[in-house]
Chains A and B, each alone.
Chain A
Amino acid sequence: DAGVIQSPRHEVTEMGQEVTLRCKPISGHDYLFWYRQTMMRGLELLIYFNNNVPIDDSGMPEDRFSAKMPNASFSTLKIQPSEPRDSAVYFCASSPPDRENTEAFFGQGTRLTVV
């Protein structure tokens, strides 16, 4: 397996534009997580899914953020409209269903810059 795949790796956009980040989890993993990393706030859990269903989205900062998982192999995180303070590295991670050994596998991240 190629691991968790995120696209794009880098995104530069203007304030007010819509941004869509994509993630392909590892096949067979039924948990998917979206994190945001900034110097000021560290790694924040935004939302996570189990079997394609959103379980906890309490970390989503504002209504401008939305996430979907239409099937087991694809998830998106959308920001509309984007703002400069959304600039961060966004990570997607997936983990297998074994609750006793819940290692998370991370993608390489999407570095988002909103100007």
Chain B
Amino acid sequence: SQQGEEDPQALSIQEGENATMNCSYKTSINNLQWYRQNSGRGLVHLILIRSNEREKHSGRLRVTLDTSKKSSSLLITASRAADTASYFCATGGTGNQFYFGTGTSLTVIP
């Protein structure tokens, strides 16, 4: 399987704290993306990091990529209750397809 794996599977934090989730993948990539899924909804793209980038920021999101370790991390700073969702990493195949990881379920407690 080309699917990645997120770690942890579930994370529960207090509002205002930072949330960190990790993604490991198996094959070489052109880019890695993070998506968010609210319960019962489709996935929404958050951020894309290219294989030649090591870190990227977007608002309260910070993504790092270590291609030597085939891993990435997503940091959400100053979390809010509205950040409660599942977060998935996605890696590209040889074409333009995406393979998703198993997801991290984040609960932010108000």
Contact bitstring B78-110, A, C-beta under 8 A = 1, else 0: 000000000010101101111111110000000
Q: Find out whether the CB atom of A48 lies under 8 angstroms from the CB atom of B97.
A: yes
Is B67 engaged at the interface, CB distance under 8 Å to the other chain? Answer: no
- Inter-subunit contact A91/B48 (CB<8 Å): no
How far is A45 from B100 in the complex, measured between Cα atoms in Å? Answer: 8
**Residues of chain A in range 43-64 having any CB-CB distance to chain B below 8 Å:** 43, 45, 48, 50, 55-56
B33 within 8 A of A: yes
Q: Are A104 and B98 in contact (CB-based, < 8 A)? A: yes
Query: How many of chain A's residues touch chain B, expressed as a range?
Result: 20 to 34
A25 contacts partner chain B, Cβ-Cβ < 8 Å: no
* Residue numbers in B under 8 Å from A107 (CB-CB): 42
The interface centre, meaning the residue of B50, B96, B99 with most chain A CB atoms within 10 A of its CB, is: B96
Assuming A56-B97, A104-B98, is B42 touching A43 (CB within 8 A)?
Answer: no
Question: Given A42-B3, A42-B101, A42-B103 in contact, is the A102-B42 Cβ separation under 8 Å?
Answer: no
28 cross-chain CB contacts under 8 A: A31-B96, A33-B97, A33-B98, A42-B102, A42-B103, A43-B43, A43-B100, A43-B103, A45-B100, A50-B95, A56-B93, A56-B95, A56-B97, A99-B30, A99-B96, A100-B31, A102-B48, A102-B92, A102-B96, A103-B45, A103-B48, A104-B35, A105-B45, A106-B42, A106-B43, A108-B41, A108-B42, A109-B41
Query: Which residues of A pack against B, CB within 8 Å?
Result: 4, 31, 33, 35, 42-43, 45, 48, 50, 55-56, 91, 93, 95, 99-109
